Amino acid sequence: MAEKILIIEDEEETLEYLRLGLELEKYNVITATTGNEGLSLTKRELPNLIILDLGLPDVDGIDVCKEIKQATNTRTIPVIILTARTTTTDKVVGLEAGADDYLSKPFEIKELVARMKALFRRLEFYAPQPDEILHKGGIVLDVGKHKVTIEFKADLDLSPKEFQLLYLLMKNSEKVLERSYLLKSLWGYTESVESRTVDVHIQRLRRKLSDQVLKFTEHLNKRIVTMEGFGYKFVD
């Protein structure tokens, strides 16, 4: 079955370019030209992927993204941000808002489709149950509430990617997860070139865990073990 793609874009020309390009690729395309229309279509249609322009007439695309990524039933829908803003800050803000990828305008359909396929590939790996709760090594991860709690006392404030990373590590505890597997699962990349991305996220996750160490459990950050040359492992 063809994946349903929602395009939220106010510029007619870009919208038509996207629609035609994606329909040629046999995707089922639906469109919105404002942020609010995009949000209500997201809730009603539950698309498989959203292409979101940042410069919209009513609401900022960043806020649209945040809302999609905060609602329980829409947060797993991948979002690709389209931006004419080229500064690194905008990209970082977009990714922090939970966007899964971004593309700077002007772009080619081919590039977009490659990114979309990478995200769909990722979903084959990362597919938690909506009501899943993992409880291991003093850490409770609640998929439905998108919440991580340490020993039922303190909440951990994680970005969507850090949350997904911790989920995969906890889900596969005591198993070594290779960097390439984590990359494919969470970013959809297949290139080993980018493997530093995983390391950076692991470091951040460890830092957040170690901030809790003094308050509660000792060595909480040591739950994530580096397997030199391979990847990472969560120890119970």
Quote the CA–CA distance of 128 and 160 in Å, as a whole number: 13
| CA-based nearest residue to 166, from 124, 190, 138 | 138
- Rounded to the nearest 5°, which phi and psi values hold at 16? -70, -40
Sheet bearing 224-227, strands edge to edge: 177-178, 231-234, 224-227
Question: What is the residue type of 208?
Answer: K
Nearer to Ca ion, 93 or 169 (CB): 93
Nearer to Ca ion, 87 or 129 (CB): 87
Alpha carbon of 159 to those of 43, 92, 141, 166: distances in Å?
22, 12, 13, 11
Position closest to Ca ion via CB: 55
Q: How far is the CB of 29 from Ca ion (least distance, A)?
A: 18
Nearer to Ca ion, 10 or 162 (CB): 10
Nearer to Ca ion, 101 or 162 (CB): 101
Nearer to Ca ion, 13 or 218 (CB): 13
Q: How far is the CB of 7 from Ca ion (least distance, A)?
A: 12
Six token digits for residue 74: 């829409």
Residues 6+ apart with CB under 8 A from 110: none
Q: How far is the CB of 9 from Ca ion (least distance, A)?
A: 6
Q: How far is the CB of 85 from Ca ion (least distance, A)?
A: 10
**DSSP at 207:** H
Q: How far is the CB of 83 from Ca ion (least distance, A)?
A: 9
Strands (E), the chain: 4-8, 28-32, 49-53, 79-83, 101-104, 133-136, 139-142, 147-150, 154-156, 177-178, 224-227, 231-234
Binding interface with Ca ion (CB under 5 A): 10, 53, 55
Nearer to Ca ion, 85 or 206 (CB): 85
Q: How far is the CB of 82 from Ca ion (least distance, A)?
A: 8
